[in-house]
Structure 1
Amino acid sequence: MNNRAEQLKAFDRLLTIMDELREQCPWDKKQTLESLRHLTIEETYELGDAILAQDLVEVKKELGDLLLHIVFYSKIGSETNDFDIADVANDICDKLIHRHPHIYGDVEVDNEEDVKRNWEQLKLKEGKKSVLEGVPKSLPALVKANRIQEKVAGVGFDWEEPHQVFEKVKEELAELEEEIHEGNSNKIEAEFGDVLFSMINYARFLKINPENALERTNKKFIHRFQYLESKATEKGKKLQDMTLAEMDLYWEEAKRISNN
């Protein structure tokens, strides 16, 4: 691993390259905060994919892409004298020191949950009117639900035991079933949302990340379905020409092969 001097030298090299690209490259010269935004979101998802795949070579590459974006935004900010990379770095350093009084002050904590509670309380003292202000509006709904629940739990609005949350899941399922019998699509959608929200909450109590859990199932389904497609091709058939019984046979075969 590189020592601190080498790390700083590498970062200085990136800053120099960014300066040169902004001056000389037609594409880089044209970019704005707004034009980079969707690319940054895409790069973040690519990093997420690499992490889930446990591909550390790709993780390193995607971190580089994200780091470039941070440097790029900071360069644009420096051109309007609003902020530069030093301001960005110093702001996060100041925030980390302020939000960790158990490290940089005299506050004592017993565990991770104490740290989370202190974090949310400090944010309210900083002037935030709601603990939910920090949840981005554009987050995917599943991720947003998880963050909402984590944040309100940080100020004590939470269940005490996992079994209580599971009872809530069953209660929401019963309400969904009732609305399905009634046939009101608007109410069915509302109750379905409640079921999902309660399941995400239960995942938190089980110490499972619901986004990761769902993506794991997505990948498992894709693998099995593609196995089914390959078997159909081997037999010279189209999927739509196969019976459900035939498809189920290969589906079960795929499950045995993947062993999960």
Structure 2
Amino acid sequence: MGVDVGELGRPAYLRLADVLRARILSGDYTPGSRLPSIAELGRDHEVSEQPVRQALRVLAAEGLTEGRPGSGTYVRFRPAPARIPRERHDAAGSPFAADGTAEGGPPWTHDSQKSYATRGLADRLRISEGDPIMQTQYVRAAGDGPARLSTSWEPLALTGGTTAALPELGPLAGRGVVERMALIGLTVTRVTEDVTARPVLEAESVPLGIPLGATVLAVERTHWAGDLPVETADIVLAADHCRLSYELGVRTPRG
């Protein structure tokens, strides 16, 4: 069976990707099943090897399939996206702990260490490149919900030498950015988030449980005390495993 001749203006690999995608989404190819070999697909759809390989790369980039070295291409299991609320910034305690409590499943693991601001982090924190910062990496393994990664950075010029220096250790462990900053005299007044989609990085693919080529949602979050950034973080999630849900306040009109 060849690809749709009614769309001969499109490249052969895209037409083949359309056919295979439709069969995956319709359930003809079930999650976990192995797709026909490259030679079989080329013969069945009357295309050469190169368009088949390109079509398979398209499907892998969309998160529909994954290649297994020496075995072939398989349809990926695609769990229903988990709803992840993003309105807990004023909740007591760590936002990571709040997520875990609300959703169940495994807790976050964390590791803090002193580091120094790169140019990009310096711009985000409005400090100088090379200034000391506290870096905390968080990992939440896949359980009942999707895996997540986060790295948080705080200027040690603000927290160094105080009880708030270590976000998840010491007397203020797990109290969250808002409460920890308040206890050293800094009032968080707002939180900003920028969300982008990008390919997963090699260092992220294993802990997130997704293949290279898959898409992630990257959330760049910053806590502000007035015009002063007191913390910034990168939160990374598998795009097809979750759905970010925002609740926005509405200003009541006067009169």
Q: Of the two structures, which has the highest relative contact order with CA contacts closer than 8 Å and spacing of 6 or more?
A: 2
More strand by share: 2
**TM-score w.r.t. length of structure 1:** 0.24
Larger Rg computed on CA atoms? 1
Normalization by structure 2: what TM-score? 0.24
